[in-house]
Amino acid sequence: GFNCGIVGLPNVGKSTLFNALTRSGIDAENFPFCTIEPNTGIVPMPDPRLDKLAEIVKPEKVVPTTMEFVDIAGLVEGASKGEGLGNQFLANIRETDAIAHVVRCFDDDNVIHVANQVDPTADIETINLELALADLDAVERSIQRLTRVVKGGDKEAIATKAILDRIQPHLAEGQPLRSFGLDEDEQRQLRSFGFLTLKPTMYIANVNEDGFENNPHLDTVRRIAASENAVVVPVCNKLEAEIAELEDEERAMFLDEMGMEEPGLDRVIRAGYGLLGLQTYFTAGVKEVRAWTVKVGATAPQAAGVIHTDFEKGFIRAEVVSYDDFVALGGENGAKEAGKWRLEGKAYVVQDGDVMHFRFNV
């Protein structure tokens, strides 16, 4: 699966967000293959399409796809030098696929701020600086190592070192690599380094209930994010924690009263999904209607491999119908009669919402 690490300064609302995310979650029992650490939560992807499919197919079971969130212990200034839980913190981030950076955008005299004032610019800089310094450390070590290797004339080593030499000053200024403007080729060459500031990142602007509009803190986060091509998700974590506590019926009423179409958490989860370049396809059998996650651009055999590696190895063909056709034509039979039920081969690139059935050799 894919995961997203929640980071941010102390007291910005990370745990509140994490608890809301996991409380709205499904039992770990349903996912026996995932080991769950206390700071890790498996969260179902909200997807109304799944309910629509279930209405048509009437299966015994409906299973959403999921995304993992990891609450990463508070970062303090100096983490890159090993202060606080610094090293542990950085090691935990290195293992995540994407980063959700929570930034405090709410004023509340009862909640102490580590730097004594709500200041998103300074907060973002503090975190970005620690992450950039951790990357800088890795870059400088590698440059040292490669300096010896390039003397042997290794072309790849020379190319890699040339990129590292270029990015070094950017990191030394405390700037994240995502704002350096590396092209795809360069990013591929750096992939094995697992640089923290190159991970897909979104800012979770934690606002008060009434802080979605006319909030200068939120405007600041938006401005900074735009300069780095990062996404911003404004959400009131405290409110979300309250919503997550409610039973389904109460929740629907509460959202209605608040004039909200869905919990803000759903936007957070979907943004994480988008950040990672993920999409959903469905299997729709009478036993189970289920959503599955694949990378955008995945081929049919790769999609089959998400269910089971044998499905990928023995892949013959996929039967495919788009979600829209499946629903409009009332399901499998209708889609077949209308000629919308396609047979696709190995090269087929899966589209978001495809309803798929795989044929394979065992």
Cβ proximity to ligand GDP, 3 vs 39, nearer residue: 39
Q: What is the DSSP code string of 238-260?
A: HHHHHHHHS-HHHHHHHHHHHT-
- For 143, phi then psi, to 5°, come to -60, -45
Give the strand pairing for 61-63 and 288-295. parallel
Cβ proximity to ligand GDP, 74 vs 272, nearer residue: 74
13 is in an annotated binding site: yes
* Closest separation in Å from C-beta 206 to ligand GDP: 5
At 190, list the tokens. 């750096």
Alpha carbon distance 133, 166 (integer Å): 15
Alpha carbon distance 164, 160 (integer Å): 6
Cβ proximity to ligand GDP, 142 vs 237, nearer residue: 237
Footprint on this chain of ligand GDP (rule: CB under 6 A): 8, 10-16, 74, 106, 108, 111, 206, 208, 236-238
Cβ proximity to ligand GDP, 237 vs 299, nearer residue: 237
Residue 273, Cβ density class (10 Å: 0-12 exposed, 13-18 middle, ≥19 buried): buried
* Closest separation in Å from C-beta 10 to ligand GDP: 4
Neighbours of 276 (CB within 10 A): 19
* Closest separation in Å from C-beta 97 to ligand GDP: 21
Cβ proximity to ligand GDP, 110 vs 144, nearer residue: 110
**∠231-234-235 over CA atoms, to 5°?**
135
* Closest separation in Å from C-beta 41 to ligand GDP: 14
Q: Name the nearest CA neighbour of 13 among 238, 180, 191.
A: 238
Q: At 329, which helix (H) or strand (E)? A: none
14 is in an annotated binding site: yes
Contacting residues for 317 by C-beta, under 8 A, at least 6 apart: 300, 343, 344, 345, 358, 359
* Closest separation in Å from C-beta 220 to ligand GDP: 16
Cβ proximity to ligand GDP, 8 vs 272, nearer residue: 8
80 is in an annotated binding site: no
Alpha carbon distance 343, 321 (integer Å): 9
Residues written for the chain: 362
At 164, list the tokens. 């590292």
Going through 170-265 in order, the beta strands assigned E by DSSP cover: 201-206, 231-235
* Closest separation in Å from C-beta 284 to ligand GDP: 39
Contact 16, 237 (CB under 8 A): yes
Cβ proximity to ligand GDP, 8 vs 263, nearer residue: 8
Query: Which positions make up the binding site?
Result: 11-16
Query: Which positions make up the binding site for ATP?
Result: 11-16
